Structure formats: structure tokens, C-alpha cells
């Protein structure tokens, strides 16, 4: 394998694209009705299909997941300027949404599966705490029962950043059934996408009107504006891609599972490497990422792979708590596991069209590099 350079680059992900003629069929429908956005027929069909496929009670669609997260924080009736406990090991959008909405992020360390360490949450709760914003990192679910117990005892809201977790189930229940609201990202890099997009999923029917006002400038009628809102609506073109992506979702997850298992068979048990078990007796995974921790030499492995035209990602590095504009929120919290994980992690390529032969070759290069 030494010296092998791939002519075609292999990226950490590649967006799923349905057959173009099927998408053109939806474009023709858009052209026929002339509605491009503002809750068009495809948007409404997509919402209904998501609810029926996943058993969601309520869903509101957004042009991206970040704005969905900001709107969720707005509608939870949190005390202005209050503290929200979250994880520093996530995409920067999580913390940015908290700060943008006028709240204060309080960073809690993570556990061994990269999600928030439930055993440390209570020590961070103060009279200023109003909510917990955990993240199902890489699609690995948080300790949802432990978080629910803490939230109930302290009367806190729970907003899940479930950007990576579409289709994940815990104890037979959809991941969105936990907490007050869950945000899903439908960005093109995700296993399920609408080109750009996102959604809020929730059980409280009363939230629907408030959420929909917030994402459309607060407009409730042709001459009525009820609040200061955003423009965060999902278009018909995004909804069309979502409807098609749903059609192929089961086969996408099944293919990703086979790729994940191939990585496991190559790398599990290799000295100096930790690769995470995806499924268990009570968790159904979606295989959204292949995170690998390297005890030593992560950057060396990264360099060797990129020289071979293979592009993994240091995801998430740096941790948010180490980014200059967020350091002021760190306080005296110790984030030892976060620091260690951020310095060791690589996410390896995974997407439906990645061949198992190429997975084998990637693993050979990785094992060569750590030797």
C-alpha cells in the first residue's frame, strides 16, 4: 500500500442524489402550480410524510438546522439571559444558537461515547440554569433517561440537537420522543438531506403556531405581524429532495451499515485505535459517521490519508471551548475527556457509493500509518 495515490478523491462524505428523472418529476409539479416557497403543496406533503414515516406528532420544517435550533430556543419560554448546559464537543452551531439568542452556554464534559456526561450535569446547575441542550453526537444517543430525570428534578427544559440522529431509536422509541424539542439537520452532508434544511420535532401542539410565526417574520395574516421573527422557511425545491430522500432512506442506512461493519472488521481491536460499537440491545443506529480515536499520531494518520487523496475530518476539532470567541464561557469547568477526544478523533469516509474495497484500502493505509 505504501506510495499508493488515489486518482479519484475520497471525501469524508458525498451527498446522496436520487435518479435525476425522479427529481425532474417534482420540478414539473412545481412549475405547474407556480408555488416556490411559503408552505407550498410539497412542503406540506413532506411534513405529513415525515410524521407518518417516523411517528412524529408535530414537525416544522426549516431552510436549515441552525435557524431551527435558534427558533427552538425562542419558543421554549426560557428566562432571558439564563444559562443553558450543553456540550463543547459538537459543531459550532450548537453554541452559536445559544449565544445568538441571548443565553449563556455552560460547557459540560463528555463521556466515553462522545455525548454529554450526565453524571456531571447536576454540578453545573445554578439558579440561572433554564435548560439542557445535549447533542446526539455522530448519531450516538445521549443518556436520555438520565437527562430526563435531572430535568424533572430541577424543572429544566430539554432541547436535543439531533442533527446527526435521524432514524435512531432508543428502547424502540424514535429519538425525537425524548425531551421537549429535537432539532434535525437535513444538510447535504447528512445521510438524509433536503440539500439544505432542518426540522423541529415536538409533542406539544401549542408550540406549532409559535414556531411557524418565528420562521416567517412573525406574520400571521396579510396585515398582521405578531412578533419579531426570522425568515427560515423551507422551499418547495428542498421539500422535493426530502420526499425523494425519504423514499431511499432505508436502503441508504442499510448500505451505510455494511460500510460501518467493514470498518469494524478491519479496525476493531487494532492497538492504538478505538472504534465505536454502533448497535446494542436497546439502540438502533443510523451509521451517520465513522468516528475513530487514535491513541497517538492522529495528525500523522490524517496527513498520510490526505496524501493518498483520502479526506477524513477532525470532527470535532477544536472543541468549542477552545475557540477564542467561546473561551469566555468556559469558567472553571474541567473538560478533560473533551480535550482528549478532540485531539484523537478522525471521522473516516462513509457514503452509500463508497465501495467496500475502498474501505479496505483506507483501513490498510490507516494501519500502515499507526505502525
The per-residue pLDDT for 311 is 97
Each residue's pLDDT tens digit, 295-311? 999 999 999 999 999 99
Q: What percent of the chain has pLDDT above 70? A: 98
Neighbours of 269 (CB within 10 A): 9
Based on the fold, state whether residues 255 and 165 are members of the same structural domain: no
Neighbours of 189 (CB within 10 A): 14
Q: How many domains is the chain partitioned into structurally?
A: 2
Each residue's pLDDT tens digit, 134-193? 999 999 999 999 999 999 999 999 999 999 999 999 999 999 999 999 999 999 999 999
1 found inside a domain: no
Q: How confident is the model at residue 3 (pLDDT cuts 50, 70, 90)?
A: low
At residue 149, the 3 state secondary structure works out as helix
User: For residue 74, what are the CA distances in angstroms to 94, 227, 297, 299?
Assistant: 14, 11, 43, 40
Q: HSE of 143 in the Cβ direction (CA atoms, 13 Å)?
A: 17
311 found inside a domain: yes
Kindly tell me if the per-residue pLDDT of 50 is higher than 50.
yes
Kindly tell me if the per-residue pLDDT of 4 is higher than 90.
no
Q: 243, 275, 291 — which closes off a domain?
A: 243
- Quote the cell numbers at residue 329: 464561557
Each residue's pLDDT tens digit, 120-151? 999 999 999 999 999 999 999 999 999 999 99
CATH of the domain at 304: 3.90.1150.10
CATH of the domain at 38: 3.40.640.10
Q: 243, 271, 290 — which closes off a domain?
A: 243
Which of 315, 314, 319, 313 lies closest to 339, judged by CA? 319
Q: How confident is the model at residue 371 (pLDDT cuts 50, 70, 90)?
A: confident
Based on the fold, state whether residues 200 and 327 are members of the same structural domain: no
Kindly tell me if the per-residue pLDDT of 5 is higher than 80.
no
**CA 316 from centroid of its chain's CA atoms:** 12
The per-residue pLDDT for 333 is 80
Q: 318 preceded by cis ω (within 30°)?
A: yes
Q: How confident is the model at residue 2 (pLDDT cuts 50, 70, 90)?
A: low
Kindly tell me if the per-residue pLDDT of 1 is higher than 90.
no
Q: If you average pLDDT over every residue of the chain, what do you get?
A: 95
Domain residues for the domain of 340 are 248-370
Q: HSE of 144 in the Cβ direction (CA atoms, 13 Å)?
A: 24
* DSSP collapsed to 3 states, 294-357: ECCCHHHHHHHHHHCCEECECCCCCCHHHCHHHHHHCCCCCCHHHHHHHHHEEEECCCCCCCHH
Each residue's pLDDT tens digit, 68-90? 999 999 999 999 999 999 999 99
> How far apart are the C-alpha atoms of 205 and 221, rounded to whole Å?
20
Q: Which of 24-38, 229-243, 244-258, 330-344 has the lowest mean pLDDT?
A: 330-344
Q: 209, 243, 277 — which closes off a domain?
A: 243
Amino acid at each position: 500500500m505504501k506510495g499508493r495515490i488515489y486518482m479519484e478523491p475520497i471525501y469524508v462524505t458525498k451527498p446522496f442524489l436520487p435518479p435525476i428523472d425522479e427529481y425532474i418529476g417534482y420540478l414539473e409539479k412545481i412549475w405547474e402550480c407556480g408555488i416556490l416557497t411559503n408552505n407550498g403543496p410539497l412542503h406540506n406533503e413532506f411534513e405529513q410524510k415525515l410524521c407518518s414515516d417516523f411517528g412524529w406528532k408535530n414537525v416544522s420544517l426549516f431552510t436549515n438546522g441552525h435557524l431551527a435550533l435558534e427558533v427552538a430556543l425562542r419558543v421554549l419560554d426560557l428566562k432571558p439571559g439564563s444559562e443553558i448546559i450543553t456540550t463543547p464537543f459538537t459543531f459550532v452551531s450548537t453554541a452559536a444558537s445559544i449565544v445568538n439568542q441571548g443565553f449563556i452556554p455552560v460547557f459540560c464534559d463528555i463521556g466515553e461515547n462522545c455525548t454529554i456526561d450526565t453524571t456531571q450535569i447536576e454540578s453545573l446547575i445554578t439558579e440561572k440554569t433554564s435548560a439542557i441542550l445535549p447533542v446526539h453526537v455522530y448519531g450516538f444517543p445521549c443518556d436520555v433517561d438520565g437527562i430526563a430525570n435531572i430535568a424533572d428534578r430541577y424543572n429544566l427544559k430539554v432541547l436535543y440537537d439531533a442533527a446527526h440522529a435521524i432514524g435512531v431509536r432508543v428502547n424502540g422509541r424514535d429519538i425525537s420522543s425524548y425531551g421537549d424539542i429535537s432539532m434535525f439537520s437535513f444538510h447535504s452532508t447528512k445521510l438524509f438531506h433536503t440539500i439544505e434544511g432542518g426540522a423541529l420535532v415536538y409533542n406539544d401542539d401549542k408550540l406549532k403556531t409559535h414556531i411557524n410565526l418565528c420562521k416567517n417574520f412573525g406574520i400571521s395574516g396579510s396585515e398582521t405581524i405578531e412578533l419579531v421573527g426570522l425568515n427560515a422557511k423551507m422551499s418547495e425545491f428542498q421539500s422535493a429532495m426530502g420526499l425523494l430522500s425519504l423514499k431511499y432512506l432505508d436502503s441508504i442506512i442499510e448500505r451505510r451499515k455494511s460500510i460501518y461493519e467493514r470498518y469494524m472488521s478491519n479496525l476493531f481491536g487494532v492497538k492504538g485505535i478505538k472504534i465505536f460499537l454502533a448497535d446494542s440491545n436497546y439502540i438502533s443506529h443510523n451509521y451517520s459517521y465513522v468516528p475513530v480515536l487514535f491513541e497517538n499520531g492522529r495528525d500523522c494518520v490524517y496527513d498520510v490519508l490526505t496524501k493518498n487523496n483520502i479526506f477524513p475530518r477532525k470532527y470535532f476539532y477544536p472543541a468549542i471551548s477552545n475557540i477564542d470567541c467561546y473561551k469566555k464561557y468556559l469558567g472553571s469547568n474541567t473538560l478533560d475527556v473533551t480535550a482528549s477526544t478532540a485531539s484523537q478523533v478522525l471521522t473516516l469516509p462513509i457514503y452509500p457509493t463508497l465501495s467496500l474495497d475502498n474501505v479496505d484500502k483506507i483501513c490498510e493505509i490507516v494501519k500502515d500509518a499507526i505502525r
